[in-house]
Amino acid sequence: MQENELIIPKHVAIIMDGNGRWAKKKMMPRNYGHTQGSKNVEKICEIAYKMGIQYLTVYAFSTENWVRPKEEIDALMKLLGTYLETSIKTSTKNNMRVRIIGDTSKLSEDIKKSIVALEEASKNNTGLNFQVAINYGGRDELLRAAKALAMDVKANITEIDDIDETFFEKYLDTKGVPDPDLLIRTSGEQRLSNFLLWQLAYTEFYFPEVLWPDFDKKELIKAVEYYSSRTRKFGGLE
Ligand code: FPP
């Protein structure tokens, strides 16, 4: 497919799977895979934006990931902490706006502080809109939204009759972010694993075999080619 035939999705969501297997293939510890995976996040942000993608959302840590060995959780949190700190500089350099989705109340005080600082520092940037899901679960997000909405109804701030899809979306972590057009899950797994359950209702899915640390520009172009070849019908006819 010629580059000028590509239909560029406005919003791409990625489940970055396969860090552990990538490390194992190289006979290295799993955490090495996460470190390389984390480096790849920055590269893909730049490549995606240059291709014309406006929104990118990645699944960095799920509400279910807490059952992993403590050592791996600690390493992932350390990586995320470092990422959040260094992103203050890189987001300025790349004009990128960063938002964190998920239940951040359960994260360490240091990480919470870094999140607030990064979101504040990057909020007026007009380049790539980058969402990082940390302690995120789709069901958890929907429950938190339902609870917040119920509180507003109870406090007479909201009428039950006002609640429609557009209204409900304002209670989601992704408020103001358009739904993903394309979801990519690397490593050949074909599951949603509780990612963006509401937002992925009409999204095209793409499941390449490549492991996340090896997902590069060539792979992103293949994903966009796949997307370009699909006709989206949103429940209607062609
Ligand atoms: C899945 O691979 C990956 C994760 C659970 C973590 C994703 C995190 C990163 C890429 C690094 C930090 C992110 C940012 C935004 C800096 P896996 O461990 O389940 O791999 P496996 O299925 O091969 O074992």
Q: In angstroms, what is the span from residue 71 Cα to ligand 1's centroid?
A: 14
pLDDT value at residue 67: 97
pLDDT value at residue 230: 86
pLDDT band for position 5 (cuts 50, 70, 90): confident
Domain ranges of the chain: 3-137+178-229
Q: Is 181 in the active site? A: no
**200-215 pLDDT per residue, tens:** 999 999 999 999 999 9
Choose the CATH number for 3-137+178-229 among 3.40.50.300, 1.10.357.10, 3.40.1180.10, 3.10.580.10.
Answer: 3.40.1180.10
pLDDT value at residue 107: 97
Number of DSSP helices (H) and strands (E) in the chain, helices first: 7, 6
Q: In angstroms, what is the span from residue 19 Cα to ligand 1's centroid?
A: 5
Q: In angstroms, what is the span from residue 146 Cα to ligand 1's centroid?
A: 29
Question: Is 15's C-beta closer than 6 angstroms to any atom of ligand 1?
Answer: no
Mean pLDDT to the nearest integer, 83-95: 95
pLDDT value at residue 3: 66
Task: Spell out the alpha helix ranges (H) of the chain.
Answer: 19-25, 30-51, 70-93, 109-122, 138-154, 165-169, 217-229
CA angle 26, 35, 215 (to 5 degrees): 70
Q: Is 214 in the active site? A: no
Mean pLDDT to the nearest integer, 82-98: 95
**164-196 pLDDT per residue, tens:** 999 999 999 999 999 999 999 999 999 999 999
**31-65 pLDDT per residue, tens:** 999 999 999 999 999 999 999 999 999 999 999 99
* Residue nearest (by alpha carbon) to ligand 1 atom 10: 37
d(Cα 99, Cα 183) in Å, to the nearest integer? Answer: 18
pLDDT band for position 236 (cuts 50, 70, 90): confident
pLDDT value at residue 231: 66
Is it the case that residue 232 has pLDDT exceeding 70? no
Indicate the average pLDDT of the chain. 95
**137-148 pLDDT per residue, tens:** 999 999 999 999
Q: Dihedral of CA 74/77/81/87: which sign?
A: positive
Instruction: Indicate left, alpha or beta for 189 from its phi (over 0: left) and psi (-120 to 50: alpha).
Output: beta
Q: Model's pTM, two decimal places?
A: 0.95
Q: What is the DSSP letter of 67?
A: G
